[in-house]
Structure 1
Amino acid sequence: MKMFNNINDHTSYHAKRRGEVMMVSDNIKTLSYAEAWDHINAIAAHIQAEGISKGDRVAILAKNSVDNICIFLACARIGAVAVGLNYRLTLSELDFISSNAGAKFLFMDQEFNSLRGDYLNSINSVCLDSDENAPILAEWLATPASLTEVEVNGDDILFQMYTSGTTGLPKGVLISHGNVLANSYQAPLSTGIGFREGDRALVIAPSFHAVGLVGALLGVIYGCSLIIHRDYDPVGMVETLAKEHINSVAVIPVMLQFSLAMVPNIKDYDFSELHTINYGASPISETLLKECIDAFGCDFVQGYGQTEATMALTFLTASDHRKALAGQPELLRSCGRAVFGSEIKIVGNDGQELAVGEIGEIVAKGPQIMQGYWKNPEATAKTVIDGWLHTGDAGRMDEDGYIYIQDRVKDMIISGGENIYPAEIENHLVSHPQIQDASVIGVPDAKWGEVPLAVLVSGGQPELSAEELTEFCREKLAGYKIPRKLEYIAALPRNPTGKVLKKDIRVMMAEKYPAV
């Protein structure tokens, strides 16, 4: 018999071994491991009663909550595949994703009813809270339903998470039970900091993001207690870290910056039980790190990865951060070294490994690499070659194995922790009759890290104003994707084959948009 072959083995074990320990809590509901296991089984049985079988897709359009995480685990219980939907997307974007996934059932928060397009309106749904158009979860669970046991293996898909590509079309990343279990074992082995029975973790990142979902699942795997925040609140985060005796939390640096700014009396709080703040999406400045260590008095760990790698490919450990502050500040520009059981190398355009210090594409191999893209073998073949995940990020490796990201091969912009792909925005911009040509780059921003800048070639007079551009984008693009800044130039620089030279555009804009 294979033990710990899937996440269900872990959840059931903790329910039997430490059933009285709190597993999940939000501002509405608190469940022990035993109570949560019963709740998970009840939801799973009712999902089966809706005709959902192993391998079927179940969409979840909801913010963080006890019920949300239990629904993900209920899908896992019967081998169904959870598809978390990003509620920050537009109706048309969500309609494409849900139809592409072929979702057969929907769990949702009532507040997102307006985001249901033709496809989501065509399938049965249950609301986690009140709604006139769908059953409420509690009422739906009130009718009897029996659970049919399903064999779930490590290679079975646990969840399908959508990430945009350079073409702007979202792709469904297939992450298996084995992928998540592998990454959950790799993390403590790589950082030297592991979850322990009784640890209390604060979950803030949304469940449609790998950091939010995989981070929560990792806590469940190790039998921790999860305190769940529905949204990020800079003051609420600080208060919860102190009052709920939190041991660890995962954030992005801008969240720390906001909390320090919004809580001027932060030194009055007791963070004595907080041992680790994990962060990702962008490096942390030496100044902010010192301020955070002074305020929170805990260790810091940076993780680098992407959805296609479940969550983590590298870690900059707590000891690395201490080295940085003790005289090696350049380490803070690194995203760390490869996680346990993984290989990372830097390759050139020909796929050959480059020498130490040379810049090329970061590629990685390990047990956490995705199973592929849903119904997209061509994209899978281009992304995973001979087992190596081509990240699309350009970087270099030093003689000690530390990775330094130099640029994004795919020109991805990271704004406030959200991944933004310029091609999607550019395709929409050039559909406007007053825009002849368009390129989008990321420019530094003190608040969000970077924001999209639209560099346009006018297609006629008068030129669009920033307000008009925002209004044009609002219908088709999520708010965080809309360019915050606008510049006009006579023509976009291109190479002989017609490819836009974004490097040249960045140079052109560097003086006006300097690093902050």
Structure 2
Amino acid sequence: MQLTQFVHRSLRASPEAVMTISDGRVRTCRESVDRITRLAGGLQTLGLRTGDRVAILASNSDYYHEVLLACWWFGAVASPVNSRWSTAEITYALKDSGSTVLLVDENFASVGSALLEACPGLTTVVYCGNDRVPDGMLDYERVIAEATPVDDLRVGGDTLALLLYTGGTTGVPKGVMISHQALMASALGTLAAGGVAISNGTNLAVNPLFHIAGIVGWLAQSLMGGTQVFVPNFSPPTFLQAVDRYRPTTVGLVPTMLQMLVSYEDSTAYDLSSVKILRYGASPISPTLLGQVMHMFPNSSFAQGYGMTETAHISMLSPADHLEGGDLLRSAGRALPHCEVKIVDPAGAELPPGEVGEIVTFGSHVMLGYWNKPKETAEVLRGGWMHTGDAGYLDARGYLFIVDRIKDMIVTGGENVYSTEVENALAQHESVAACSVIGLPDTRWGERVHAVIVLRPGFDGDTEELRAHVKTLIAGYKSPRTFQFVDALPLSAAGKVLKRDLRCNAT
């Protein structure tokens, strides 16, 4: 399986159909494919070859669409960068991946210049924005215009296609290696389950394309033909205006976005009747919020996806499941057709229905491993099964219920935050003697980052100073939203912080 297959199919079936809409630009399939083939040729003239990594730091747009496909066209590895990361985190990812070419848009031009200086291996920055091309960068449109189209190498199978960086318990990002086959298997399995895309429909791509959920949603609709409408950044008015104007049939959102939409006072002024499928996931959602969203999108069916960067989609709560309602709405649905899911104890033995253990999954959707991290790869892929680090159970009908996160991962606003990263940042402040970070339920963000701190003698708990300090080291969304100051942290006999006690006593 190759990720460029749908491009050839669409070109044969409907060359003059609109493929992308972005920032007022409307491009047909024929126009898009011409640009993709030229961009692939242009990237090769920059010295890139099969297997080389191409980093992308940009908001959603038709340019992002073209870059992903151009990379796969000649066998390069696309490495989308989390645009919410700090410069230090981005620098680490670029150095670790060995990316030599970086594409940035107008939102990240200044960062691009800084990265060019900070990363010795980064030789070229290509500007794919709407403003004047900054000094020291190449013009994206000129690269395309001056290039000769190249043939699709039709690279696929287990060949590396994506390198997505995700946070880790060690405090540094890990590069997740995703093959052509893995991404295609996840997209096709999700489509086979039904209720995630409509043939020749219109997808509103609002989930960021540096997230696996955004990429799978984009790919699923692409495999079904139709149009991609790109929304660069989410806000209630921007989203609602796009739905009203472009009449998408499918959208994908995270619960934080949904909470913002139902709280937006002018939402009834927009026509949302075109939406036939609403996909959601990435963090917990309350039954109350889900009910409000269903009322807001009366013509839509709903599908909830569960997965992770290392696996893409694992399970889905289908539209039919949503109609059944009740306790089923608390589940993450059933395993998708392309994969297996089971619950195991610490020794790896499979547990019966109803018993809580670690969620593991097997299939062609699983990552190849972590980039340059063989030890960590071997640990999570024990016995060929991906160990998710999430705790849950399967009921008698095979529905998956997630009850906790073994790795202490916090999901806030659809973003993954690892407590160790935040703890390491807090510990570098002079006032902090000891600290521990947990996730607490939050009506807006799904979960919020909550820090419990023991202060050094003579210091006061200045929460704004601590929050600002953390933001200098890691991404702003990882900074604690709430703080609690205590005399001592609860410890086990082995000296480990008892986070369950912190959750029970959180204020």
Corresponding residue of 1:123: 123
AA in 2 matched with 1:247: T
Distance change in 2, residues 1:219/1:486 (3 Å): same
Pair 1:360-2:363 in alignment: no
Corresponding residue of 1:438: 435
- 2-structure distance, mates of 1:249, 1:242: 13
1:465-504 equivalences under 5 Å are 465-504=462-501
Superimposed CA distance per residue, residues 265-287 of structure 1 (whole angstroms, 9 cap, x where no aligned partner): 52x54333321100001233222
Count of residues in correspondence between the two structures:
499
Per-residue deviation, 1:263? 4.2
Corresponding residue of 1:343: 340
1:61 aligns with one of 43, 57, 77: 57
Corresponding residue of 2:186: 183
Please state whether the residue corresponding to 1:187 is helix, strand or coil: helix
Per-residue deviation, 1:194? 5.2
Please state whether the residue corresponding to 1:431 is helix, strand or coil: coil
Q: Is the 8 A contact 1:66 1:228 kept in 2?
A: yes
Corresponding residue of 1:138: 141
Please report the TM-score for the alignment, with normalisation by the length of structure 1.
0.93
Per-residue deviation, 1:243? 2.8
Corresponding residue of 1:226: 228
- 1-structure distance, mates of 2:364, 2:26: 34
1:151-166 equivalences under 5 Å are 151-166=154-169
Per-residue deviation, 1:384? 1.0
Moved more, 161-170 or 108-117: 108-117
Moved more, 114-123 or 212-221: 114-123
Corresponding residue of 1:8: 4
Superimposed CA distance per residue, residues 444-503 of structure 1 (whole angstroms, 9 cap, x where no aligned partner): 222212111111111221223101101211211111011111111122122222222111
Q: Is the 8 A contact 2:196 2:279 kept in 1?
A: no
Q: Is the 8 A contact 1:321 1:332 kept in 2?
A: yes
Superimposed CA distance per residue, residues 393-419 of structure 1 (whole angstroms, 9 cap, x where no aligned partner): 111111111111111000011111110
Per-residue deviation, 1:131? 2.7
Corresponding residue of 1:79: 75
Corresponding residue of 1:410: 407
Distance change in 2, residues 1:437/1:141 (3 Å): same
Please state whether the residue corresponding to 2:496 is helix, strand or coil: coil
Superimposed CA distance per residue, residues 137-163 of structure 1 (whole angstroms, 9 cap, x where no aligned partner): 112323243526535121111111001
1:17-416 equivalences under 5 Å are 17-115=13-111, 116-117=114-115, 118-119=118-119, 122-129=122-129, 130-133=132-135, 134-147=137-150, 150-190=153-193, 192-193=194-195, 195-266=197-268, 269-297=270-298, 298-309=300-311, 311-324=312-325, 328=326, 330-416=327-413
Q: Is the 8 A contact 1:54 1:150 kept in 2?
A: no
- 1-structure distance, mates of 2:236, 2:381: 38
Superimposed CA distance per residue, residues 214-245 of structure 1 (whole angstroms, 9 cap, x where no aligned partner): 21122222212111101002122223223322
Alignment root-mean-square deviation, CA: 1.6
Per-residue deviation, 1:386? 1.6
- 2-structure distance, mates of 1:146, 1:318: 42
AA in 2 matched with 1:422: S
Please state whether the residue corresponding to 1:392 is helix, strand or coil: strand
AA in 1 matched with 2:160: I
Q: Is the 8 A contact 2:281 2:304 kept in 1?
A: yes
Q: Is the 8 A contact 1:493 1:500 kept in 2?
A: yes
AA in 1 matched with 2:254: I
AA in 2 matched with 1:425: V
- 2-structure distance, mates of 1:36, 1:451: 41
Q: Is the 8 A contact 2:128 2:140 kept in 1?
A: yes
| Runs of 5+ consecutive residues of structure 1 not aligned to the other structure | none
- 2-structure distance, mates of 1:169, 1:250: 28
Q: Which runs of 4+ in 1 moved over 4 A?
A: none
Please state whether the residue corresponding to 2:272 is helix, strand or coil: coil
Q: Is the 8 A contact 2:59 2:107 kept in 1?
A: no
Per-residue deviation, 1:120? 7.1
AA in 2 matched with 1:98: L
- 1-structure distance, mates of 2:331, 2:199: 31
Please report the TM-score for the alignment, with normalisation by the length of structure 2.
0.95
AA in 2 matched with 1:436: A
Per-residue deviation, 1:23? 0.9
Percent identity of paired positions between Structure 1 and Structure 2: 36
- 2-structure distance, mates of 1:193, 1:149: 31
- 2-structure distance, mates of 1:249, 1:146: 33
